[in-house]
Amino acid sequence: MKKTVCILTLIVSLANIALAQKFTAQASKTKVAVGEQFQVSFTLNNSGNNFQAPPLTNFDVYSGPNQSTSMSFVNGAMSQSISLSYILAAKKEGKITIGPATVNVNGTNVQSNSINIEVVKGAPSQQQQGNNQAAQNPSAPSTENVSDNLFVRTTIDKTKAYQGEQITVTQKVYTRYQLRGFQDVKFPDYTGFWTQDVASNQQIQLTNETIDGVVYQVGELKRTYLFAQRSGKLEIEPMKVECAVRKQSNRKPRDVFEQFFGGGYEDIVIAVKSKPITIDISPLPEAKKPTGFSGAVGNYSFKAQISKDKIKANDAVNLTITLSGSGNIKLVTPSTINFPEDFETYDPKVKENITAGANGVSGSKSFDYLIIPRHEGDYKIDQINFSYFDPQKKEYITLPSPEFNIHVDKGNPEDATTNIVNSRSKEDVKMLGNDIRYIKTNNIILKSKDNYFFGSPLFYAGLISPFIAFIGFIVVRKKHNEQNKDAVAVKSRKATKIAKKRLVIAEQHLKSNNKEQFYIEIFKALYGYIGDKLNINAADLNKEHISEMLKAKNVNEATIQQLISTLDNCEYARYAPSAVSGDLNSIYNGTVELIMKIENEIK
């Protein structure tokens, strides 16, 4: 009896697990015409991560992946499902199979079912119309002005500023459509400015804003703080973005349900860009500029302190200078300090605690100087002045520190050789008071009076060495020209090296847990490597062309599918980082292995 109960319990548990991990794929239609749009959805009734879409190289992807979540309550029990959908259009006729998608659920990879799509030849007028729309703005209606319903703006908090003064730049999207997502976002380079982005790991929140009596939904894409590095009229270039929006279709309803609810809806992609903005940057005034001014602009406080004022000779003292406030604090350089001649000093150790928040760039920056008095006596470190320019008051402000008096007692002579690390060589002789630092007492090399350099073997070797060096240069130069004659081969050889540099940047974002920038660098590393390795122009750098070129190079089909899946995952993660989870170390290591695998398989 107990055995029967255990078996039944096990069967029920396995059934619950199977139901909890149900992952299905379905299409809005399985028979379509060439160029006709339809939707494919992947639904998981559990939480998961590391979603990998199947290869979609036989389709034009107009939108996706678009995420939606649904919840239901039945008899007091709650169930939840997550769906990722794509808007596709077939490129050619035939029977096409959309392979299974993969998602990780509780450490286990789960696959969806496959979908068979039959693609038939469409009507000439319909097919031509679809091609024209896809080439410009898919499904965009001709009876409305799209720019009145969807646009992006670059706004700044000031149009005139001083060099080094903080300027807030905000990139916003305004829409009257239902916003589904973004793709191919290109922000300005901000030439002439030092920039600090406001970190944001959250999805874009939409708010309502009224412009000329029209209510728009507004989303902040990015906020950046700029600090001009030169004076003059500096231009902020336009930002460009492709917005995926859902709007009502102009086609006739396909069935009675669409007719009852007012027609169907479709996702389209609209490319928009903002207008350039010019900022007038004034140089800092020369009148009353303090001596030793290091370029600090903003609002600061200043503090200087020493670790102790009574020590023995050859012991160390720390002088710490701390700046706090808001402005271009990250660009502030150390102050000039006049130390006594008998002090040995080292370059300061710099520590920063700087953040970019809603009110701008602020924080603290400290400079820690290590100083070692070499002789006994009473010494004084003169007053240290820190000066900055306040753009609000339009004047320079100087903050002084107190003078520091240090009493040095006679130290242990052995400490001068056992406790001190000195980077100077014994050939560097420096006067300290009335003493010479080093006196040479042994290993003296004497030369014969009649031993001349002229006529010696070393003299003749030096005489002919320029001719030998010139011949070597000609040989090396000729070999270099031969190796670099083929520009395509040079580009291919350097592809792996350039990809490694991208991966180094991605590893830095990995350590700081910056998912969005991590996926961007992984995406750029893969695309850049493939483009350089296969000599593909940027205009032809798409997944279908990449797949064809790799197949021509006899690259394994599994490796090609892994590359396409990684690119799809990176594209999804770039604009919806909060919807993607998983081990970033595994993704990084997988990318490195993928590049090495392609490098070994290309023939």
Q: Kindly report the average pLDDT of the chain as a whole number.
A: 78
SS3 361: strand
Give the pLDDT band (50/70/90) at residue 305. Answer: very high
pLDDT digits (tens, 9 = 90+) for 338-373: 888 888 888 899 999 998 888 889 999 999 999 999
Asked: is 146-282 a CATH 2.60.40 domain? The reply is yes
* Measured distance CA(99)–CA(565) in Å, rounded: 12
Are 38 and 88 in contact by the 8 Å Cβ rule? The answer is: yes
What does 262-293 look like in DSSP terms, one character per residue?
Answer: TS-EEEEEEEEE---EEEEEEPPP-TTPPTT-
- List the domain boundaries for the chain: 22-135, 146-282, 298-436, 489-601
Are 270 and 63 in contact by the 8 Å Cβ rule? The answer is: no
Percent of the chain residues past pLDDT 90, beyond the cut: 25
Residue type, 2: K
Q: How far apart are the first and last CA of the chain?
A: 65
Bridge partner list, 70: 81
Closest CA to 557 of 547, 565, 567, 566: 547
Q: Is residue 296 scored above 90 in pLDDT?
A: yes
* Measured distance CA(103)–CA(51) in Å, rounded: 4
Dihedral pair phi/psi, residue 350, rounded to 5°: -100, 130
What kind of architecture, by CATH, is found in domain 22-135? Sandwich (2.60)
Q: What is the pTM of this model?
A: 0.46
Asked: is 298-436 a CATH 2.60.40 domain? The reply is yes
Angle subtended at Cα 395 by Cα 392 and Cα 397, rounded to the nearest 5 degrees: 105
pLDDT digits (tens, 9 = 90+) for 107-129: 888 888 999 999 998 644 344 34
* Measured distance CA(37)–CA(89) in Å, rounded: 5
3-state secondary structure 10-37: HHHHHHHHHHHCCEEEEECCCEEECCCE
* Measured distance CA(230)–CA(234) in Å, rounded: 9
pLDDT digits (tens, 9 = 90+) for 223-251: 999 999 999 999 999 999 999 888 766 65
Residues 6+ apart with CB under 8 A from 63: 86, 87, 180, 181, 244, 267, 268, 269
The yes-or-no answer to whether 146-282 and 489-601 have a common fold is no
Instruction: Kindly report the CATH class assigned to 489-601.
Output: mainly alpha
* Measured distance CA(382)–CA(339) in Å, rounded: 8
pLDDT digits (tens, 9 = 90+) for 256-281: 445 444 456 778 889 999 999 999 99
* Measured distance CA(271)–CA(357) in Å, rounded: 30
Q: How far is CA 448 from CA 15, 436, 440, 556, in A?
A: 99, 29, 21, 74
Provide the pLDDT for residue 132.
Answer: 39
* Measured distance CA(338)–CA(336) in Å, rounded: 7
Give the pLDDT band (50/70/90) at residue 451. Answer: low
Neighbours of 266 (CB within 10 A): 19
Give the pLDDT band (50/70/90) at residue 3. Answer: low
Q: How far is CA 512 from CA 421, 502, 525, in A?
A: 34, 16, 19
> Could you tell me the two tokens for 219?
């989303």
